[in-house]
Structure 1
């Protein structure tokens, strides 16, 4: 059995992020709103019209922020679920999410998720924290099994390495294709490089949009990985 989940917990335990992801920071809310718009664009492209009818599972749901966003977009709580490795994050998510929304604590590979039970499996900045290639592949295979035929994996992660953080690594599009070889990938490049966003957005929020017009400065991919 892989020790990667234990290693991930150890890596997160030593992170000191402070208020880096607070919605009070202009670069954070701009990043979140940009990703929401891009996600809605992908939904429209792929014929999604009735969000309340869809079943969606988030792998690595953290404190529940993404699931709260999805509730606001119109997903029903009883059709949403999340898996999170870290107990303190699960506890925080449980405090802020409706009771009808199911949360699973622990290693995602051990989660009791039925095959072909989900219209969408959402994963955001999770694979960049997994440094074991074999574990990445097993998790991708599990996620693919959970998706119904005609459904999709909804992917968001960064593509380039962060030289200041050896606990993460970028996941380029070629790796995404290798992880989901049977998937049909429709992707958008999004998210102004965080170091640039942190430098310019506090000066004026419009600078985020200005710099983000340059595709070379976008560091993340939002992808719809369709299952035939």
Structure 2
């Protein structure tokens, strides 16, 4: 556990304007955010179906950096079992918000993920959505990746959704290129695809044009969804 990096992450989130973020990422008020979420869910379902998972029922699934619980709710809608679902959140107020909206069977842990009491090889999928990009210390990124990989059962994987380009307006995040993902999970078999039309572009488009524009303007996709699969037997 790197206490200094954990404190730095907390400070970066505290600098953000939460009210502005709420509008920017609201699925109700922002058509671009809704399109990005739906596109990501379809891509997740395709990846897992191709992996041989016909459903999510009974599967042990964990999200690191679960925020106020939005992605965990999406997993429930996709068929995940509440008692097999875990979220970990660093910020106490976000963890409390997640507990308020999620079913009682879902476990929400608070604190540094690298210190969380998760058993080795206990999870079939570990999700980290826009988490690595908030970890600016390369050594802590490596420690974080090793922790997630340790939790994953053989045949399962780590699902990463994150920036592949830097945001010139936000120095508190750093891109996560595919080459670095390969280095962070050297034993994994990676399946990856670019997603999410650049939000500043998508927010300026009429609602009906966002989805086709995302398909056509592939170079303007700013994120990557990667399924890093752990081999059934050690290499």
1:208 aligned residue: 210
TM-score (norm 1): 0.97
**CA apart distance, 1:161:** 0.3
Runs of 4+ in structure 1 deviating by more than 3 angstroms, as ranges, are none
Unaligned runs of 5+ in 2: none
**CA apart distance, 1:86:** 0.1
**CA apart distance, 1:188:** 1.3
1:222 aligned residue: 225
2:32 aligned residue: 27
Q: Secondary structure at the match of 2:121?
A: coil
**CA apart distance, 1:163:** 0.6
- Return the match for 2:76 from 71, 79, 83: 71
**CA apart distance, 1:56:** 0.4
Alignment of 1:26-65 (within 5 A): 26-65=31-70
2:107 aligned residue: 102
- Over residues 183-215 of structure 1, what are the superposed CA-to-partner deviations in whole Å (9 max), with x where a residue is unaligned? 000011110011111111xxx212212321221
Provide the C-alpha distance between the structure 1 equivalents of 2:117 and 2:58, rounded to a whole number of angstroms.
21
TM-score (norm 2): 0.94
- Return the match for 1:121 from 96, 116, 126: 126
- Conserved 8 A contact 1:211-1:217: no
Provide the C-alpha distance between the structure 2 equivalents of 1:113 and 1:147, rounded to a whole number of angstroms.
10
Provide the C-alpha distance between the structure 2 equivalents of 1:199 and 1:130, rounded to a whole number of angstroms.
29
Q: Secondary structure at the match of 1:51?
A: coil
Alignment of 1:7-26 (within 5 A): 7-17=8-18, 18=20, 19-24=23-28, 25-26=30-31
Unaligned runs of 5+ in 1: none
**CA apart distance, 1:149:** 0.6
Alignment of 1:171-186 (within 5 A): 171-186=176-191
Q: Secondary structure at the match of 1:123?
A: strand
1:5 aligned residue: 6
Alignment of 1:81-96 (within 5 A): 81-96=86-101
- Conserved 8 A contact 1:122-1:155: yes
1:197 aligned residue: 202
2:85 aligned residue: 80
**CA apart distance, 1:156:** 0.5
